[in-house]
Structure 1
């Protein structure tokens, strides 16, 4: 039988979920469309990954019309944050999505 820590470690073990968590860990809200663009995954795949992070308790979501916005769970137990933060710190920095410049 899986324990909560098993579920946490399993959620962190998938690369796309880990990169998504890295993006939302800054305490800002991020919509699925932003996560999709930055990680290069489909909407359905991104939604499944975010649902897993939410089920484990790492993120919370907020509905905004047709969009779902995710952010770090502010009530995450300190012991869990103590596991997640060094893992995220070990990752290379995420590239920031920049708008395309129109060539004249």
Structure 2
């Protein structure tokens, strides 16, 4: 992980309200497009993109491009301890992202994800 052996980088990355909401939303949805995140958090695309870049820099997220869409998901190399922290936070503080998830349900024209076989 780019945050090296010192946990400060990790906790700084997660300490921002927008970044923490993004991580929890992505964890809850498994994968999200930038346009879904901007709609869910009611924020501009440049702001969301800056936060996503920092989360990618700390190897917390992976991205993939499919046509015009860029999708983000949790990194497959995420440390088990970090995963446990995020899972605990999502489980016990789901209300923290409830309004963002509700906004997401009102979004028309959500991009279709490619269905991958096992």
Aligned-pair Cα RMSD in Å: 2.2
For the 8 Å contact 2:24–2:86, the answer to whether it is kept is no
In structure 2, the residue corresponding to 1:62 is in which secondary structure? strand
The answer for unaligned runs of 5 or more in structure 1 is: none
> When the two structures are aligned, how many residues end up with a matched partner?
100
- 22-31 or 84-93, larger mean C-alpha shift: 84-93
Query: Comparing both structures, which one devotes a greater share of its residues to helix?
Result: 2
The TM-score normalised by the length of structure 1 is 0.81
- 54-63 or 20-29, larger mean C-alpha shift: 20-29
For the 8 Å contact 1:27–1:72, the answer to whether it is kept is no
- 77-86 or 41-50, larger mean C-alpha shift: 77-86
The TM-score normalised by the length of structure 2 is 0.72
Partner of residue 98, structure 1: 105
Deviations 1:65-103 (A, max 9, x none): 232110111221112223332233342142332237xxx
The answer for unaligned runs of 5 or more in structure 2 is: 108-118
Match of 2:22 among 10, 20, 23: 20
The Cα shift of 1:3 comes to 5.0
- Considering Cα pairs closer than 8 Å and 6+ residues apart, tell me whether 1 or 2 has the greater RCO: 2
